[in-house]
Structure formats: C-alpha cells, structure tokens
C-alpha cells in the first residue's frame, strides 16, 4: 500500500539552527500538508501546498517557516532559525483533495527537539 | 472556521467494556468527518470517515461512528474493546476552506487505555 515517508524520524538541534524536514508524499497525490503536534497537545495545521505554491497557512506558519517541492517527489519543511517552542512532532500528509473528499494520508512524523 | 471538541481527555476501560468517545464540531456548511487513531510511537491512521449517505459509518477493527447532524456530533463507538485498542483517538473535520485545500481540523484527542 502506498505510504507517506518522512525523514529524519528524530532530529535534535540547537536553538537558532536551521532544520529541514523531508517528506515523500504518495506519488499520485496533488495536495500536500504539514501538521505539527506539540507534546500533549492536539495536531495543528501548519500549511497546505498545491500546484507548486502555498494554498493556505495558519498563523503558526510565520516567516521562519517555508515549504518547497524541489524535485517533484520530495516535499520539505524548513525552519530557518529554530526556537525552543518549535519542539514538536511534525507530520507530513498528502491527499487527492476535492476528488477524494479530502482524506489525508499521514507519514510517521519527524520529532524535532530544540535545545 | 471549523472547530472540533472532544469531551474526554483520558478514558480507562477494562477489556470487553464498551466504548463511546464524544466528538462535536462547529461548522455551518457541509463537512466530512474522520476519526484517526495514533498507536504509541506510530503515525496517524484513518479509522473511519463520513462523507454522505448512511450516518452510521463502520470502520476498521470493529469501530463505528454515528453522524448526528442536529447535534453536530460524530461519536466513536466500539462494543467490546481490546488491550490492542490502547491508543490516542482524534476526531477531525474537513471542509473546503475556499482555497481548495480541504485542511483537516483536529480535536485535542482522547487517550484510551485498556486494562487487560
């Protein structure tokens, strides 16, 4: 069964460092998403991406965050200068969008720890 | 904007007990409703979904949920839980935000602990 894969599974970084989280969505999906889950809290929407551009973003997704689909298969989330509060599990998801009534398929997550 | 409320933060049951997890949403338009499960150390997996039609939806592993439009609810049920059902359960709502991206809005999750 096709699945969304994410790397790394766990990254530890120093505050102020740049981090790139990578995702390979399901190959025929057109919509891509990043969500995050701070320990003990709910899963929060960060950003959606379609047709090589951001289609929607939350207030969490400030100028420190960026997304890119550099080569047609990977979908990356970059945090330019990490803060302690960026420590969370980051989930990538992909979906067919309206053609599949919006069901999303999630990766296993990348745990980011900022020290 | 849509929002989702899950009433129970942590539920503890013995094996074979019946389960009902509450979920209410707020959104004025047509929504798609989901229950996702997250087993310890694993990713979110879809349990079941409601798009239209029969409001009683059956999912994997014996779970079902009932959409009651008048109550804006989508409660998850299972007649007899097993130890392997120990996980965190998330209710989610998906509506076209107008940008075509159909973002999911999650509830805070309910942690289920099943005691053997």
For A80-89, write each residue's pLDDT tens digit: 999 999 999 9
Q: Is the peptide bond before A37 cis (omega within 30 degrees of 0)?
A: no
Q: What is the count of residue pairs from A and B with beta carbons less than 8 Å apart?
A: 68
Task: Residue B109: list chain A partners with CB under 8 A.
Answer: 42-43
Count the residues in chain A.
115
For B10-52, write each residue's pLDDT tens digit: 999 999 999 999 999 988 777 889 999 999 878 788 899 998 8
Q: Token digits for B12?
A: 């503890």
Backbone angles phi, psi at B70, to 5 degrees: -65, -25
pLDDT (average), residues A91-97: 86
Task: Residue B102: list chain A partners with CB under 8 A.
Answer: 31, 95, 97-98, 101-102
Give the lowest-confidence range in A10-19, A38-47, A94-103, B104-113. Answer: A94-103
What pLDDT was estimated at residue B40?
85
Is the pLDDT confidence value at B98 over 80? no
* CA dist B57 → A114, B48, B49, B68, B115 (Å): 41, 7, 7, 11, 27
What pLDDT was estimated at residue A21?
97
Q: Of residues A20 and A30, which shows the higher confidence score?
A: A20
For A23-76, write each residue's pLDDT tens digit: 999 988 888 999 999 987 888 999 999 888 998 899 999 999 999 998 878 999
Q: Do residues A6 and A23 touch, judged by C-beta distance below 8 A?
A: yes
What pLDDT was estimated at residue A99?
55
Substitution target in B1, B9, B41, B103 with the highest count of A β-carbons within 10 Å is B103
Q: Of residues B40 and B114, which shows the higher confidence score?
A: B114
- B4, closest residue in chain A (CA to CA): A42
What pLDDT was estimated at residue A75?
96
Nearest CA distance, B57 vs chain A (angstrom): 15
What pLDDT was estimated at residue B94?
81
Per-window interface: A 47-86 vs B, CB < 8 A: 48, 50, 55-56
- At residue A100, the 3 state secondary structure works out as helix
Q: Of residues B99 and A75, which shows the higher confidence score?
A: A75
């Amino acid at each position: 069964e096709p699945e969304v894969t994410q790397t790394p599974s766990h990254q530890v970084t120093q505050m102020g460092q740049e981090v790139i989280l990578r995702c390979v969505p399901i190959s025929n999906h057109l919509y891509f998403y990043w969500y995050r889950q701070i320990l003990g809290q709910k899963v929060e929407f960060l950003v959606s991406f379609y047709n090589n551009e951001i289609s929607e973003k939350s207030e969490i997704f400030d100028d420190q965050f960026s997304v890119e689909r550099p080569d047609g298969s990977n979908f990356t989330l970059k945090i330019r200068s990490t803060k302690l509060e960026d420590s969370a599990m980051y989930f990538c998801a992909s979906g067919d969008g309206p053609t599949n009534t919006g069901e999303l398929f999630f990766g296993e997550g990348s745990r980011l720890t900022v020290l | 904007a849509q929002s989702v409320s899950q009433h129970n933060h942590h539920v503890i049951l013995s094996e074979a007990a019946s389960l009902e997890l509450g979920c209410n949403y707020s959104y004025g338009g047509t929504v798609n409703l989901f229950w996702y499960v997250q087993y310890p150390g694993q990713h979110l997996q879809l349990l079941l979904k409601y798009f239209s039609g029969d409001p009683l939806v059956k999912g994997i592993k014996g779970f079902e949920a009932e959409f009651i439009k008048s109550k804006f609810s989508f409660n998850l049920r299972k007649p007899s839980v097993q130890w392997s059902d120990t996980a965190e359960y998330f209710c989610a709502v998906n509506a076209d935000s107008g940008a075509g991206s159909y973002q999911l809005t999650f509830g805070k999750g309910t942690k289920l602990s099943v005691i053997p």
